[in-house]
Amino acid sequence: MNGPQILLLAVLAVTVVLFVWHRWRHDLVAVAALIAVVLLGLVPVDRAFLGFGHPAVVTVVAVLIISHGLRNSGVVDVVAQQLLPLTRGKLTHIAVLVLTVSVASAFMNNVGALALLLPVALATAAERQRAPAMLLMPLAFASLLGGMITLIGTPPNIIVATYRAEAVGRSFAMFDFAPVGLIVAAAGVTFLVLVGWRLLPAERRSAGAGQPLFEVERYVAEARVPLDSTIIGESLGAVREENSDVVLVGIAHGPKRLATALTRLVAADDILLVRGDPDPLQKLVDRYRLELVDSGGRRRAQETQDSDQSPDAPEKDDSEKRVFVEGVIRTASALVGRSASYLGWLTDDRVALVAVARAGRPIDTRLTDLTLQAGDVLLLQCAPDETDRILDAGLLPLAKRPIRLGQPRRIATALVIFAAALGLGTSGVVSLPLALIAAAAVYVVLGILPERDLYTEVDWPTIVLLGAMLPLGEALERTGTTTLFANGILHATQEMSPVVVLTALLVATMIVSDVVNNAATALVMAPIAVELARSLECNPDAFLMAVAVGASCAFLTPVGHQSNTIVMGPGGYRFGDYWRVGLPLEGVIVLVAIPAILFAWPL
């Protein structure tokens, strides 16, 4: 090992550790790694930022924009509604949802496809009296499986295809992934429908119609005690006994810290920190004439109070009535790592944060002291015509929404434009990135995608990560570090057949993808795959396809992929629930993917 290789491995090791730690966002870590390799002379200064103009980065941006356009057109919404009558049976219920999301995610962003079906899954779970946990993890995993089918289904496929063009001279085409991706997705979906959901703990699968959506990790809300409240003078212990369906965490008065002593008496202007589900919380508020308080300390009038106004009082505008909306924080949301009060600033105080639910552990702190995390479920209050603002804040609504722009003419137009772009890009008339960017521009011109929404669905942290990590991938090749990695794998599998090496590469990529962003995984593993193929004198396409499959198999942890994080709160999952389902799923994929790769891309 020479000096540059040692330095590069050191930077790569620190980068991976920071990725796994999740203390800082992936894009910030990637930029820091880029700065480090430039300062160490491992990447020339004039090539440091070429990654941001790389075709793979442009393609990912275009796909995200087009995904938003397809959502606006109502394409998947209409399909989902047509399939809803098939949700009567338990297995057909799961099958309809996972099949729909897997097909959608083959042609649009994984998270975008999940966002369309998540409210449908929750609504049908309530209607059919089934636990959301039965549906949401299969739904999230299926969104990853569907992305394996096409070139634009997921960023790892785009990265692998682009790297093939650089290493072999020709990129993978749009449907070159389908022979393997379809088989793997079909096997994975079959497993999820028949077996996967049964591996979840019984308490996660047994919720009925009368049970709340969220289990132990319930909403934490704050309620102010007004002067006329009937709770004044009662002790904390007495209130707890009288309201067993909620948890009265403690009492705060002014700037004082939270008091939890059972003998503490409730006084006027106290703030009660209460944990429970929405209905019991509302009953507590009504019973004691309390006032819900948002994260900024402001009182929030209830809709029921609007109806109590005097007949002689001037009639209130309906737009001033406020409704409750639930939303889950996306990984790329600006709210991640911020205080709860930041939501007010982000939405011009049009949306109020009333309560928070978090999977994994209870919340026992004031909302004003709470740092929000990806996957948190927020109970929000806003005017009926302001509900779209939660999308601007990087939240996914959990209630089923009406179809927007869903007329047949819009749907047909959106599909024709998308199909034309794919046809032009895959036939070689123009490059695929250019064709997709042109399709996005046409969406804007025709009003399918409003100008103000053009970039709202672009996952900028992922884009920055890609742009910063691409020069690092070049440095791995330039310094011979990929050869070093390949030799290490060959040494560990010496005297074994190339099939064993291919399997080892697939499993290794899966392991890395479970703890590191899947795009970063593809960037690191693709050069190693090509070097292994060259050393074994085998077809590099088979090894690149193994990387593409493995990079999309982030099933073991809730942080392996954004889709996993998003469903954790609404599904009431624990960290360990993911490997219960994900580990056997990855085993099934290995057993199916290797023969499929060998058949479609012989060694």
Q: Which two tokens stand for residue 198?
A: 């049964």
pLDDT at 190: 96
The per-residue pLDDT for 402 is 47
Q: How many Cα atoms sit within 13 Å of 32 on the Cβ side?
A: 14
String of DSSP letters for 19-46: HHH-SS-HHHHHHHHHHHHHHTTSS-GG
**Burial category of 507 from C-beta neighbours within 10 Å (exposed 0-12, middle 13-18, buried 19 and up):** middle
Element (H, E) at 273: strand 271-276
**386 assigned to some structural domain:** yes
Summarised one tens digit per residue, pLDDT across range 427-445 is 878 888 899 999 999 999 9
Burial class, 588, CB count within 10 angstroms (exposed 0-12 / middle 13-18 / buried 19+) = middle
Whose CA is closest to 589, among 188, 101, 146, 140? 188
CA angle 219, 119, 81 (to 5 degrees): 160
Q: Let me know if residue 381 belongs to a domain.
A: yes
Angle at 352 between CA 403 and CA 235, to 5 degrees: 130
Q: Are 333 and 390 found together in one domain?
A: yes
Say whether both 230 and 275 belong to one domain.
Answer: yes
Final residue of a structural domain among 369, 397, 425: 397
Phi-psi region of 289 (alpha: psi -120 to 50; beta: other; left: phi over 0): left
Task: Name the 3-class secondary structure at 274.
Answer: strand
The pLDDT score that the predictor gives to residue 543 is 96
Task: Check whether residue 298 and residue 331 sit in a common domain.
Answer: no
300 in the same domain as 322: no
Q: What token pair was written down for 423?
A: 């046809």
Half-sphere exposure of 24 (CA within 13 A, CB side): 13
Is 383 within the bounds of a domain?
yes
- pLDDT of res. 399: 65
Q: What would the two tokens of residue 467 be?
A: 């742009």
- Domain extent, residue 252, equals 219-306
Q: Is 107 exposed, middle or buried (0-12, 13-18, 19+ CB in 10 A)?
A: buried
pLDDT < 70: residue spans in the chain: 75-77, 79-81, 83-84, 206-219, 253-258, 260, 294-322, 359-368, 387-389, 391-392, 399-409
Q: Is residue 342 part of a domain?
A: yes
Q: Domain check: are 300 and 355 in the same one?
A: no
Q: Write down which residue in 377, 397, 417 finishes a domain.
A: 397
Same domain, 251 and 273: yes
Distance of CA 210 to the CA centre of its chain: 28
Residue pair 73/411 in contact (Cβ under 8 Å)? The answer is yes
Question: Are 272 and 335 within one domain?
Answer: no
Please state the separation of Cα 289 from the chain's center in Å.
39
Strand ranges for 386-519 from DSSP E? 395-397
* Domain stops at, among 306, 327, 342: 306
Predicted TM-score (pTM) of this structure: 0.73
Are 228 and 302 within one domain? yes
89 within some domain = no
Q: Is residue 581 domain-resident? A: no
Q: What is the largest CA-CA distance in the chain?
A: 91
What pLDDT, on the 0 to 100 scale, is given for residue 601? 94
327 and 359 together in one domain = yes
Give the span between the Cα atoms of 395 and 329, in whole angstroms: 5
pLDDT at 310: 43
Q: Which amino acid is at 437?
A: I
Shared-domain flag, residues 293 and 228: yes
Is residue 235 domain-resident? yes
237: domain CATH number is: 3.30.70.1450
User: Which DSSP category does 106 fall into?
Assistant: T
In the numeric block, which tokens belong to residue 530?
């090509």
Domain count along the chain: 2
Residue 148 in domain: no
pLDDT at residue 359, as a whole number: 65
